[in-house]
Amino acid sequence: MKKTVAIDGPAGAGKSTIAKLVAEKLGYIYIDTGAMYRAAAWKVLDAGVEPTDENIVDVTKKCDVRLRFVGDAVRVFADDTDVTESIRTPEVTALVSKVAQLGPVRAKMVELQRSMAKDGGVVMDGRDIASNVLPNADVKIFLTASIEERALRRWKEMKAKGYEEPMEKLAAEIAARDKADSEREISPLVRVPEATLLDTTGMTIDEVVQKVMALCG
């Protein structure tokens, strides 16, 4: 029987990287929920409107966010625009937490995510997968790492894409994101009691994947 695997954790913990690799090894579909919220944030920026709550909700409700297989890769679309690379800019990163904490936005995204996972055989990562999106997931993991480790990983990722961001700034942004995600009123970042805590500080990607694969049985 194909399982549903829920991986939660804070920003920069490596959830997307690990979830994607685990999905490949299991032959499952990888669903990057963070990318869906980033696509909504990108759409708000692209619309050129002031990012008030009202404008964010208005833009998002008119936007169709989808994950599609193109060849062997999952691509992210906002309406008919492929935004897979565009959603990783500092501007989108700065706005996504605000977008993700709005109830109407989350309701729309959660509906899409549950629909994609209804037949099992998926690995889904985000902030509230085990607690809200897939509370009956077969495997629940809370992936984390120290703020310093996550800032270093984000710095390397940004540098590889041509962005130069001071490490201290990235660490401060991650700490602020943690606070915002944990304290938001709707579907906050939380580790459910039955989720296995996996601190990846100092671990290689391969080591983390092996641990997660073992938990998937």
Positive or negative CA dihedral for 27, 7, 114, 179?
A: negative
The model's pLDDT over 3-24, given as tens digits with 9 standing for 90+, comes to 999 999 998 899 989 999 999 9
pLDDT per position as a tens digit, 62-89? 999 988 878 777 899 999 999 999 999 9
**Mean pLDDT to the nearest integer, 25-34:** 90
Query: What is the β-pairing status of strands 65-70 and 73-78?
Result: antiparallel
DSSP state of 28: P
As a whole number of angstroms, the distance between CA 13 and CA 60 comes to 26
Domains and CATH numbers, the chain: 4-216 (3.40.50.300)
pTM of the model: 0.79
DSSP conformation class of 88: G
At 164, the pLDDT band (50, 70, 90 cuts) reads confident
Cα–Cα dist 100/40, whole Å: 9
